[in-house]
A = this chain, B = another copy of it.
Amino acid sequence: MSNFEISVLFFLQLAFILIVCRVVGWLAKRLGQPQVVAEMIAGVLMGPSLFGWFLPNAQAWIFPADSQGLIYAVGQVGLVLYMFLVGLEFDTNLIRNRLRSAAWVSLSGILVPLALGCILGYFLVRSSGFFSADVVVWEAMFFVGASMSITAFPMLARIIYERGLSGTSLGTLALAAGSIDDGAAWCVLALVLASFSGDPMIAVFAIGGGTLYAVGTLTIGQKLLKPLGILAEREKGVSPTLLTITLIFVMLGAWFTDRIGIYAVFGAFIMGAAMPRGRFAHEVQRQIEPLTTTLLLPIFFVYSGLNTSISLVDSFWLWGIVLVVLLAASVGKGVACWAAARFSGEDNRTALAIGTLMNARGLMELIILNIGLQRGIITPLLFTVMVIMAIITTLLASPIFERVYRRPADLENALAAKSLSSAL
């Protein structure tokens, strides 16, 4: 297809994606699921698992292989802008007050699922069909370990965001622990990839560069970015020039972290966290948010769905494996985080909510799995098994969260968040 043809089709794809996401979102709302879960499922429905299964020709016509690069890249831009917004709302003061809890939750949120994942990986690599032949045992173990430790960071952020919990201690604790765990999981993945490709520099770049970027941006970067906040106060708003400068930093951060191998979402999130607060943050959010969440982000959810094919899991034995993976994932992440939060002094309600949110794998999981699949570490079968685990843990998050974290307190927190954001 020519550039022009792909571009013409892209308008139809956008219309189609927006329609499906809203229809599924409307149904999801009635079942108590947030829009974000709806968009994740809508993505799978638009792929070979449903639309492509019933109407393969129509699916191939609307989403030809030639257009997947475009969908991927635009979805990534949407995701990066979204994670920047999440970082912009991230309150580092709250994390300082909760340092003890955050440390415990994130530590158990990485160690327990990593350990369980390694055990599971050990058994999976011994039966055939899950890993490619050139994978060494420890690589398989740590790959499953890393993908068990993942939290649906963008999804967790969106659930917290949609409920107006961004400024609350629950929201901050979950975001902090989630981001630390995901960061650690990506480092483990980098080690596996480095070993698998035989290039130790991959791990050095990812872990060293990532640490350098995070520390540099949050210290020197934060100081260098201060003038943006002062300008916004002086100009009583964020001018197009100021917004452009901000976007330049976001794009550079995203590029750098992608380049060194720890994924653009972290670069964007950390850049957002380093930005000045007050009028600047408030205005930038107001200007970036609408088009990002309604138009660009749903495209990201579609890409992974296009690469998921549930029909690969076609026997009782395989569904048994799915069940074991699901149990190991939920015990490793959800139960461990709940226990850690309780242990460090949080009340049971908050601890349950944190365990539930941390257990959702969402699309972060899909990203790791896609890398594993593309690099030839895992087979399409293990890919699909893990995708089903990701969808179920994510689907469970909202109803359980809703149960343990009910309306009255919810409202209270939302009000506290409101007064916080209006005080900016």
Mark A residues whose CB is within 8 Å of B.
Answer: 2-4, 6-12, 14-15, 18-19, 21-22, 25, 35, 68-70, 72-74, 76-77, 80-81, 240-241, 243-245, 247-248, 251-252, 254-255, 258-259, 264, 287-288, 290-295, 374
A414 CA to B255 CA in the complex, in Å? Answer: 40
Question: Cβ of A10 and Cβ of B76 under 8 Å apart?
Answer: yes
Choose one: B6, B248, B252, B287; the contact of A290 (CB below 8 Å): B287
A264 contacts which chain B residues (CB < 8 A)?
Answer: 8, 11
CB-defined A-B contacts under 8 Å, sample of 13:
A3-B68, A7-B258, A10-B76, A11-B77, A11-B254, A11-B264, A12-B251, A12-B255, A15-B255, A70-B74, A287-B290, A287-B291, A291-B292
Q: How close is A213's CB to chain B, nearest CB, in angstroms?
A: 14
Question: Cβ of B6 and Cβ of A251 under 8 Å apart?
Answer: no
A6 contacts which chain B residues (CB < 8 A)?
Answer: 69, 73
A22 CA to B9 CA in the complex, in Å? Answer: 31
Copy count, this protein chain: 2
Choose one: B4, B11, B74, B77; the contact of A72 (CB below 8 Å): B4
A240 contacts which chain B residues (CB < 8 A)?
Answer: 35, 290, 293-294
A77 contacts which chain B residues (CB < 8 A)?
Answer: 10-11, 14, 74
Main secondary structure of the interface of A (DSSP, over half): helix
Choose one: B21, B76, B254, B291; the contact of A291 (CB below 8 Å): B291
A264 CA to B5 CA in the complex, in Å? Answer: 12
Tell me which of A2, A4, A8, A252 has the highest count of chain B C-beta atoms within 10 A of its own C-beta.
Answer: A8
A72 CA to B70 CA in the complex, in Å? Answer: 10
Known pairs A3-B68, A18-B247, A290-B240; A255 contacts B11 (CB<8 A):
yes
Choose one: B9, B18, B81, B254; the contact of A248 (CB below 8 Å): B18
A248 CA to B255 CA in the complex, in Å? Answer: 30
Question: Cβ of B291 and Cβ of A18 under 8 Å apart?
Answer: no
Top 6 closest A-B pairs, CB basis? A287-B290, A11-B255, A15-B251, A7-B73, A3-B69, A8-B258
Q: How close is A232's CB to chain B, nearest CB, in angstroms?
A: 14
Q: How close is A267's CB to chain B, nearest CB, in angstroms?
A: 9
A414 CA to B318 CA in the complex, in Å? Answer: 68
A186 CA to B248 CA in the complex, in Å? Answer: 36
A128 CA to B145 CA in the complex, in Å? Answer: 68
Closest B residue to A66 by beta carbon equals B69
A283 CA to B76 CA in the complex, in Å? Answer: 27
A243 contacts which chain B residues (CB < 8 A)?
Answer: 290, 294
A251 contacts which chain B residues (CB < 8 A)?
Answer: 11-12, 14-15, 18
Choose one: B70, B245, B254, B295; the contact of A69 (CB below 8 Å): B70
Known pairs A18-B247, A240-B294; A11 contacts B258 (CB<8 A):
yes
A264 CA to B76 CA in the complex, in Å? Answer: 24
Q: How close is A231's CB to chain B, nearest CB, in angstroms?
A: 14
Q: How close is A163's CB to chain B, nearest CB, in angstroms?
A: 15
Question: Cβ of B72 and Cβ of A3 under 8 Å apart?
Answer: yes
Question: Cβ of A290 and Cβ of B293 under 8 Å apart?
Answer: no
Closest B residue to A73 by beta carbon equals B7
Closest B residue to A238 by beta carbon equals B290
Question: Cβ of B255 and Cβ of A8 under 8 Å apart?
Answer: yes
A76 contacts which chain B residues (CB < 8 A)?
Answer: 7, 10-11
A255 contacts which chain B residues (CB < 8 A)?
Answer: 8-9, 11-12, 15
Closest B residue to A240 by beta carbon equals B294
A241 contacts which chain B residues (CB < 8 A)?
Answer: 22, 25
